[in-house]
Amino acid sequence: MAAPPQPQQPMQAQMQQQQQQQLLARQDPVMQAVIEADFRPVDLTLDSANATALCSSHSREKCDECDVDFVQLNRLTKVLSANPTIPFPPPPNIVNQKLSQIVNQTKEEGNVCSTVHIIHFPNNG
C-alpha cells in the first residue's frame, strides 16, 4: 500500500511565501522617502560582450564628466565570469581572498557615494 501524500511540504512552501509577502509589505515609509530623495538615475551601456558597464555618453568605464565609475563593478563581474565554478553565495568555510577583496572594495565604494545611483538601460527598440 502506498504512503499517503505529505501535505506538510505544500504548507511549508505556502507559509514561506506568506512570510516573504509580509516582509515586502512592511516597508518603512520614512526610509523609502530618504532613498527616493537621493535618487539619481545613471545611464549606462554594456560593451559588445555584455560584460563591461560603460557610461552611455562616452563609453568609458570611469567617466568624470558623467560622474560614474564602474571599475570595481566590472572587476567583480570579470572575476565571477572567469570562475563559473565559484559557488554563489560561497559556503561560509571557503574564503576566496581575491573575491573577498573585490567585493569589499565594491561595497566600500558604494558606501562612500553620497547619493543612491539607480542604473537605467537604454531601450533597444
Q: How confident is the model at residue 1 (pLDDT cuts 50, 70, 90)?
A: low
Determine the pLDDT at residue 23: 60
The dihedral through the CA atoms of 22, 38, 74, 108 has a sign that is: negative
- CA distances to 25, 28, 112, 116, 119 from 32, rounded to whole Å, are 12, 6, 20, 12, 18
Q: What is the pLDDT of residues 87-116, one digit of tens each?
A: 767 677 777 788 788 888 888 877 765 444
Q: What is the pLDDT of residues 52-96, one digit of tens each?
A: 999 999 999 999 998 889 999 999 888 888 888 877 676 777 777
Cβ distance 58 to 44 under 8 Å? no
User: Mean pLDDT over residues 27-34, rounded?
Assistant: 83
Cβ distance 118 to 42 under 8 Å? yes
Cα–Cα dist 11/17, whole Å: 10
User: Mean pLDDT over residues 23-52, rounded?
Assistant: 81
Task: Spell out the domain ranges in the chain.
Answer: 31-120
**What type of residue is 99?**
L
Determine the pLDDT at residue 120: 54
Query: Looking at per-residue confidence, does 99 or 25 come out higher?
Result: 99
What cell numbers appear for 88 in the block? 554563489
Determine the pLDDT at residue 21: 66
